[in-house]
Amino acid sequence: MEESNNKIEVFAPATVANLSCGFDVLGLCLDSVGDKMIISKKNKKGISISKIKGFDLPLNPLENAASVAAMALLKNIKIDYGFDIQIFKKIKPGSGIGSSAASSAGAVVGINKLLGNPFTKTELIDFAREGERIACGSPIADNVTPAILGGFTLVKSTNPLQVISLPSISELHVVILHPQIEVKTADARAVLPKKILLKDAVTQWANVGSLVSSLYTKDYDLFASSLQDVVVEPYRSKLIPFFKETKKITLQNGALGYGISGSGPSTFTICKGMENATLIKEELHKFFMKTKIPFKIYISKINRKGIKTKMI
């Protein structure tokens, strides 16, 4: 083993899945919120987790999203050593900004680097989905994809996995409002209808298409009018405290769009420029203080790089 390639520090960012109209297919990567992980080569084969700080999560490698994703990767390569993972979690599990996805994606990207990059990004996303399977009950790809590719992403298909990096618009900022209640992804999926009306499907896929087009043409108006969700939001918004009120506040204050981040309870506001993001953050803060529900608010730019790593 080469001394310099034995240990890596990973910044595993939070992500916003769905982006209103793109349930299970669209996502974006955040910049200012994320976990730190330290991954080290070890002589013993397999994956261990020696430390988790920040939140109470399983150290058992069979139960933690990071190690499950890492084990999926190891199944595809023959090596006579293993890896230990330390996780310093900042993203609260069940917050709707891709906590398990950050762990899963961070583990596989870090290990791939330590191995000398034998796997493609698409293969890494596929391994990371196994972490999502253990954490959310299904191998969802719309959080791990932006975490690994950065920027805006589209999951074209999951079998076989086909993912697309989309361009971004430079001045976009995201405000994340996180009411400190837990909404489990499995529960938020259980409230969704099995069938939807054809007219709603037409609206939804037109919006996905126009949202993608707006990113290529840098068209803020088209971007804003495409951030609508007529399929999922009507059901899930009931699980989120003061959703209607906070949506009204952000849109009245110039937001381009407001919706549920992933399966919630966090919501996201997308706006143009830091000044507008700061105003919206202040207005949401003022409103939420009155609700007596504990909450956090973050502003983030779009993270175009995704996971960041550093050999240590």
The residues annotated as belonging to the active site are 132, 185
Which range, of 18-26, 31-39, 145-153, 211-219, touches ligand HSE by CB under 6 A? Answer: 18-26
**CA 117, 119, 122, 128 torsion-angle sign:** negative
Round to whole Å and give the CA distance between 234 and 227. 14
CB of 94 to ligand HSE, least distance (A): 10
33 makes contact with ligand HSE (CB under 6 A): no
| The 3-state secondary structure of 62-123, one letter per residue | CCCHHHHHHHHHHCCCCCCCEEEEEEECCCCCCCCCCHHHHHHHHHHHHHHHHCCCCCCHHH
276 makes contact with ligand HSE (CB under 6 A): no
CB of 201 to ligand HSE, least distance (A): 17
Indicate the residue among 61 and 93 with the shorter CB distance to ligand HSE. 93
185 makes contact with ligand HSE (CB under 6 A): yes
Name the amino acid, one letter, at 102.
A
189 makes contact with ligand HSE (CB under 6 A): yes
Q: Which residue is nearest to ligand HSE (CB)?
A: 262
Residue 248: CB atoms within 10 Å: 13
Indicate the residue among 114 and 154 with the shorter CB distance to ligand HSE. 154
- Sequence-distant (6+) residues with CB within 8 A of 135 are 65, 93, 100, 103, 104, 185
Residues 125-184 that bind ligand HSE (CB under 6 A): 136, 140, 142-143
- Sequence-distant (6+) residues with CB within 8 A of 183 are 94, 96, 239, 240, 263, 264, 265
Indicate the residue among 64 and 158 with the shorter CB distance to ligand HSE. 158
CB of 23 to ligand HSE, least distance (A): 6
Indicate the residue among 211 and 249 with the shorter CB distance to ligand HSE. 211
The size of the interface with ligand HSE (CB under 6 A), counted in residues, is: 13
Which range, of 16-24, 48-56, 77-85, 296-304, touches ligand HSE by CB under 6 A? Answer: 16-24
Indicate the residue among 184 and 304 with the shorter CB distance to ligand HSE. 184
Nearest to 71 by CA among 17, 23, 107: 107
CB of 200 to ligand HSE, least distance (A): 16
Round to whole Å and give the CA distance between 258 and 174. 10
Indicate the residue among 23 and 83 with the shorter CB distance to ligand HSE. 23
Residues 234-263 that bind ligand HSE (CB under 6 A): 262-263
CB of 8 to ligand HSE, least distance (A): 26
123 makes contact with ligand HSE (CB under 6 A): no
Residues at the site binding ligand HSE, with contacts judged by CB under 6 A: 17-18, 23-24, 136, 140, 142-143, 185, 188-189, 262-263
